[in-house]
Structure 1
Amino acid sequence: MSHPTSTILTESGTNELEIIEFHIEKRLPNGGTKTCYYGINVAKVREVIQVPETTDYPNAQPHMIGVFSSREILTPLVDLAGWLGIPKSPDVESKFVIVTDFNRMTNGFLIDSVSRIHRISWNDVESPSQFLEAGEQDCVVAVVRKEGHLIMILDFEKIIADINPELSMEKYDIRVDKSIDLNQKMVSKRNAKTVMVVDDSAFIRSLIQDTLSSAGYNVIACKDGGEAFEKLMNIEQEAAKEGVQVRELIDAVVTDVEMPRMDGMHLVKRLRDNNSYRDTPIVMFSSLMSDDNRHKALTLGANDTITKPEIGRLVSMMDQYIFETV
């Protein structure tokens, strides 16, 4: 099953997306099974295929079944049920593989079945914090209610980083990055500035926050576009009450694209329609930043874009837009 390239996610900030619903069959102690419902953004999926022939990879990470060739690209196959800790059937031949393509990486995830594609509004995508206290180790970024089921949208960046730590943004250490000015004068200069970071993944949000904070920036963290917009409207009211410009209280926004309640593209659109935030530097930081998506982000009013593996560019980008445009 291949699918046409979807443009809904970033289509003029419509705040809509498409997700592929897929299933993993959990083996119960009594020998029965229970269907677990999961979802992934269509924009991250290259294709869904039958289980290919794989080759064992020496010293592979746990839950990595092997590697296979996907359109001439060497692709790891991950046992998703194993990673999630779900007891499963050992029968592999009847299963399927979701082949993903984001963050400039291709990966395969073993699943039991694919159901259908749902087109939904981000307004109908709920934050998992409504169900549980989501921490950095949580692998669910959002929840969708469909046909009496809860579909869990998984944090595939977190899963990939856990399985292949060498490719993780966690490897980046600003303290050893010679391209970043960390002298006391510059750190103090950044300490007078505040950046809002918006990402639904607690794992990614923490990495961005730590990177910017280590450079000296103050950070306001938000778990989705809805929370960010509400906080920014409160900041606008506070600025009016104090008789100052909004830029005295918030200096820039770094936002993900796909998030519950309000996606990043729609957030940018709403902010650019507001006189108070018309000139606020906004950088979109996403695993889905193709050339086409970058063009759409810039057209909506974002100042710049960056893909998630390039976290090392983030501080320099903030320096550029905050200090060189003052």
Structure 2
Amino acid sequence: MEHQTGILLESGTNELEIIEFHLRRILPDGTKKVCYYGINVAKVREVIRVPDTTDYPNAQPNVLGVFSLRDRLIPLVNLAGWLGVDTDYEMDNKVVIVTDFNKMINGFLIDSVSRIHRVSWEEVESPSEFLEAGNQDCVVAVVRQEGNLIMILDFEKIIADINPEISMEKYDITTDKNIHLDEDAVSQRNSKSILVVDDSGFIRRMIENTLRSAGYNIISAKDGAEAYRTLMGFAKTADEEGVPVTNYVDGVVTDVEMPKMDGMHLLKRLRDTSFFKKTPIIMFSSLMSEENRRKALQLGANDTITKPEMGRMVALMDSFILDIKDEYVAPVPAKE
């Protein structure tokens, strides 16, 4: 099974396709229970039979080895092991999902792939509605299908945990010579507020910490719908008090994939309002292909960043909302 990544975001339609896949948990009595999981189709390169692997020295415990696919060496991750799901290891009955996002290709060992579901982001629920906050950080969303709860996993967090050397957590703004951290620059940022929108608590905290370390004030939202409500609240208050909306928020950094309302749809709705037509909005996503970058710019994004390019975040925000512009490179205009 090979899938082209022409995802349903071209006009902010607020839809997505997810691949449902399974792990079979072995219960204490020896019986098996099917566990339902999902991943955005746009992150999947293909599904293959379990390949022959070669051991990799000093690999993380849940990396089973590396395999070659179309001249690329790809790590094979034991997803059940990482999730703590007790399952059998009869490889003849398993398959591998090969993912392609964050400019990285990885293989994930699973038991089976079921089908593709096309759903609206409005049908995608936050895991906080099912789980106590913080207890299940690897689940970013839940979809109900045919009586089952499909858990959408935070694959960025899984990959960062398995390979911390390439994690966005490695970025340290205090050692970045391209970022102004003098008293004047930090003082300018202290007067500005940025809304950070991401359904992954792991990534949201990294963005917040980076911007906050530079001096910005941070507001956060876990999905597009919450962000839209927050921003409309600011707009209402600004209108009632006769002040500019920049008294409350100066810029937005948003993910694309999110429950309730995706980032493209959020962007489209904000640009349709008089209050946020000119608000700096940066799209920060693992799905930021050239095609999706073009779509985002056409919908009105000021620029895009592909995870894990955390180092561009502060410089871009500086260029749009402050007088600190010397390191910024303007985006390539979208082609019609």
Report the TM range for the smaller structure's normalisation: over 0.9
* Aligned residue identity for 1:209: E
User: What are structure 1's unaligned runs of at least 5 residues?
Assistant: none
Q: Are the equivalent residues in 2 in contact too, given 1:123–1:261 (CA < 8 A)?
A: yes
**What's the offset of the Cα at 1:11?**
2.2
Rounded to whole Å, the distance in 1 between the matches of 2:323 and 2:21 is 47
* Aligned residue identity for 1:229: Y
Q: Identity of counterpart residues, as a percentage?
A: 67
Match of 2:187 in 1: 188
Q: Are the equivalent residues in 2 in contact too, given 1:99–1:106 (CA < 8 A)?
A: yes
Rounded to whole Å, the distance in 2 between the matches of 1:101 and 1:138 is 21
* Aligned residue identity for 2:62: H
Match of 2:263 in 1: 264
* Residues 72-111 of structure 1: pairs in structure 2 closer than 5 A: 72-111=71-110
User: What are structure 2's unaligned runs of at least 5 residues?
Assistant: 326-336
Rounded to whole Å, the distance in 2 between the matches of 1:2 and 1:97 is 12
Q: Are the equivalent residues in 2 in contact too, given 1:21–1:118 (CA < 8 A)?
A: yes
SS in 2 for 1:265: helix
Rounded to whole Å, the distance in 2 between the matches of 1:313 and 1:219 is 17
Q: Are the equivalent residues in 2 in contact too, given 1:134–1:202 (CA < 8 A)?
A: no
Rounded to whole Å, the distance in 2 between the matches of 1:317 and 1:17 is 28
**What's the offset of the Cα at 1:92?**
1.5
Rounded to whole Å, the distance in 1 between the matches of 2:57 and 2:25 is 29
SS in 2 for 1:309: coil
C-alpha change, 1:118 and 1:195, in structure 2 (3 Å) is: same
Rounded to whole Å, the distance in 2 between the matches of 1:149 and 1:137 is 18
RMSD (CA atoms): 1.3
Match of 1:2 in 2: 2
Deviations 1:75-119 (A, max 9, x none): 000000000000010211210000000000000000000000000
* Residues 85-164 of structure 1: pairs in structure 2 closer than 5 A: 85-135=84-134, 138-164=137-163
Residue 16 of structure 2 corresponds to residue 21 of structure 1? no
Match of 1:288 in 2: 287
Rounded to whole Å, the distance in 2 between the matches of 1:5 and 1:209 is 29
SS in 1 for 2:294: helix
**What's the offset of the Cα at 1:324?**
4.4
**What's the offset of the Cα at 1:216?**
0.2
Rounded to whole Å, the distance in 1 between the matches of 2:223 and 2:72 is 33
**What's the offset of the Cα at 1:224?**
0.2
Rounded to whole Å, the distance in 2 between the matches of 1:7 and 1:201 is 20
4+ residue segments displaced more than 6 Å: none
Aligned length: 325
* Aligned residue identity for 1:230: R
TM-score, length-normalised on structure 1?
0.98
SS in 1 for 2:309: helix
**What's the offset of the Cα at 1:72?**
1.2
* Comparing 228-237 and 135-144, the one that deviates more: 135-144
* Aligned residue identity for 1:283: I
* Aligned residue identity for 1:226: A
TM-score, length-normalised on structure 2?
0.95
SS in 2 for 1:312: helix
* Aligned residue identity for 1:26: R
